[in-house]
Amino acid sequence: MDVRLLEYMLVLERLGSVSAAAEEIHISQSALSQSLARLEKSLHTQLFVRANRKLTPTPAGKVYLDGARQMLAVKRETYEKLENLIRMERNQVRIAICDQVYAVSGAGILAEMKRRFPSVHFQFLPVDSGVIPEYLDSELVDFAVFCENGPPAAALCCRPLFRERLALAVPESAAWEGREIDRKALLSNAFIYPERGTFLYRLVRQALKGQGLIFGDVYNAGNVSEMKMLAGHGYGAALLPERATTLLAECRIYPWKPEVSYNVVYAVPVSQKDSSLAGMLYETLRQCLESRERLERTEK
């Protein structure tokens, strides 16, 4: 069956005019009229009638058009599965992942993806959340995991993974009793900043500004892992993603108030939102993160 004929009839239904439909699908009016006539002759029934100067489907036409939609959906799904299979066979799955997630769960996620999809070579690109939308838009990566605290870009389809917030890590040697933050004790510490210009840097600046805190002695770290290492070795206090503070035994963890939080999302270009591969990867990511969270609660 020529699927183009199915597409032609659906355009004709939508526009209700042979001339308008012919113009949209770039064929002549006579060619479209002849295609309709041949189709009706082969089916031994009329598919369209003219009413109020517009072509509308007959009952038989509605049945045909419903079937056309179903067949074209099958075609799209089949082509998509083939495209995904080819992509996976060629090992072309590239995932941008923000530092906040990569530092905590990157190794576990990658191991689970390799286990579930053994024929695929996944390439993780640790990238700051601020530039990940550009990576997706430029097709430098296929999918992404990143942090956002505002509306997503219109060209992206985002699905939530979890809500994260900042927590204060203070070396045990400089920590204080209680759960509330002791401003005087905190300011006696050095402070460890994330890399300037990053998503986390902007959040940390926002949190400190909200408390009117200015540190005289500061260190700059390249990423979350370096921040954890410096805090763990007693160099100073740090505001970290709460999940990154788990099992940081060398530090006392305090909740930051008022809370500074953000969303961690899985994102694909809108054009790929219905991709079966995108759905499978999302479920894998979600399950990996949930498993890690359960494990951490057990270890605590």
| Domain ranges for the chain | 3-88, 91-156+268-299, 163-262
Q: What is the pLDDT along the chain (300 residues), one digit of tens a residue?
A: 568 899 999 999 999 999 999 999 889 999 999 999 999 999 999 999 998 889 999 999 999 999 999 998 888 877 776 666 655 555 678 899 999 898 888 888 888 888 888 878 888 899 999 899 889 888 888 899 999 988 777 778 899 999 999 999 999 999 998 888 899 999 999 999 999 999 999 999 999 999 999 998 999 998 999 999 999 999 999 999 999 998 788 999 999 999 999 999 999 988 777 777 788 889 988 888 887 776 655 555
* 163-262: CATH superfamily: Periplasmic binding protein-like II (3.40.190.10)
Question: What is the phi/psi pair of residue 95, to 5°?
Answer: -125, 120
CATH class of 3-88: mainly alpha
Question: Do the Cβ atoms of 267 and 157 come closer than 8 Å?
Answer: yes
Fold of 91-156+268-299: D-Maltodextrin-Binding Protein; domain 2 (3.40.190)
What tokens were used for 126? 């640790």
Per CATH, 3-88 and 91-156+268-299 having the same topology is answered: no
Non-local CB neighbours of 122 within 8 Å, separated by 6+ positions: 93, 94, 95, 110, 113, 114
